[in-house]
């Protein structure tokens, strides 16, 4: 087995992926403060906005205001989800450093969610990808349901490889392999990641794990073992999983950093400041966060 990476990049997705499904509107002031607290914690990459139709995702309607008001840390990347050229133009105007496009590895998921095939969905991103490159922006792709699908169940490895190739050919700088419903286990995780790495640079592949079955940290460790060194997480575990009732969704950032710190892997992130950010946002939402490490640290502080 390979030695674990000495350094890992954490992409904090709480402000976008974490908050987008919240039913109660989160004010722009709160979102700005959350991003600023995460910036101060030292994250190298924060997914801060989504330029989708407010009709479909009302929570993201304040994205332009949030991007205009955040205090940007020099060198940090502030990303925005851009489903089409209209979204791209808004992201460009908002001075996003990176635009994020997305596709599914499951044909059934693609058809059910956006009423078109995987090939058609990725073809729609061709103008967005070209515009990103023409404007000197980073381009990231997220591949959902790479480890399992709520509609078709198993997703063949070749399906994952096919979508990775398509995203690579669009010129993506980074590709996220996502366990959207949190069903993967370590051995399967390694098989999927190794498949992706045959089509794209291993050091530019990211793992995006959900914790529906409590396997996210184990899957991150399994990915580390084969050399993956970029992971997504959400402060305080923000973000539910709409396909598994009661599921926690995104792996909690505090738990990931606690594990990485224990492994002696450098992240450049201040765990105490992440805990502060988690307490801030869950306090606003009126509930306790799901991070085991975050809650333990907060309890220890309280004495």
Active site residues: 241
CA dihedral (272, 274, 277, 279) positive or negative: negative
- From first CA to last CA, the distance across the chain in angstroms is 41
Q: Buried b vs exposed e over 19-58: b needs ≥16 C-beta within 10 Å?
A: bbeeeeebebebbbbbbbbbbebbbbbbbbbbbbeeeebe
- Tokens found for residue 38: 């995460």
In DSSP terms, which residues pair with 149 in a beta bridge? 153
Q: What is the rounded CA–CA span in Å between residue 10 and residue 4?
A: 15
Residue 208: name the closest of 251, 182, 184, 178 by CA: 178
Which uninterrupted H or E stretch holds 110? helix 107-114
- Of the CA atoms within 13 Å of residue 115, those in its CB half-sphere come to 0
Q: What is the rounded CA–CA span in Å between residue 229 and residue 203?
A: 6
């Amino acid at each position: 087995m390979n030695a674990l990476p000495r350094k890992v990049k954490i992409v904090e997705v709480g402000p976008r992926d974490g908050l987008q499904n919240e039913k109660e509107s989160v004010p722009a002031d709160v979102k700005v403060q959350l991003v600023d607290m995460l910036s101060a914690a030292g994250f190298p990459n924060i997914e801060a906005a989504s330029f989708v139709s407010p009709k479909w995702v009302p929570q993201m309607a304040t994205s332009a205001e949030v991007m205009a008001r955040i205090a940007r840390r020099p060198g940090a990347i502030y990303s925005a989800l851009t489903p089409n050229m209209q979204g791209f133009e808004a992201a460009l105007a908002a001075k996003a450093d990176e635009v994020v496009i997305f596709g599914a590895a499951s044909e059934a998921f693609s058809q059910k969610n956006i009423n078109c095939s995987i090939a058609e969905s990725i073809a729609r991103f061709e103008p967005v990808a070209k515009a990103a490159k023409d404007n000197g922006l980073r381009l990231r792709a997220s591949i959902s349901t790479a480890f399992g699908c709520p509609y078709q169940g198993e997703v063949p490895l070749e399906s994952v490889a096919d979508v990775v190739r398509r995203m690579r050919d669009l010129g993506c700088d980074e590709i996220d392999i996502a366990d959207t419903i949190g069903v993967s286990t370590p051995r399967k995780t390694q098989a999927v990641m190794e498949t992706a790495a045959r089509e794209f640079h291993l050091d530019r592949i990211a793992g995006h794990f959900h914790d529906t079955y409590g396997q996210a940290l184990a899957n991150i460790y399994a990915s580390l073992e084969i050399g993956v060194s970029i992971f997504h997480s959400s402060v305080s575990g923000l973000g539910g999983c709409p396909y598994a009732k009661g599921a926690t969704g995104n792996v909690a950032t505090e738990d990931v950093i606690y594990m990485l710190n224990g492994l002696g892997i450098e992240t450049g992130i201040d765990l105490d400041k992440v805990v502060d950010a988690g307490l801030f946002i869950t306090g606003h939402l009126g509930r306790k966060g799901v991070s085991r490490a975050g809650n333990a640290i907060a309890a220890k502080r309280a004495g």
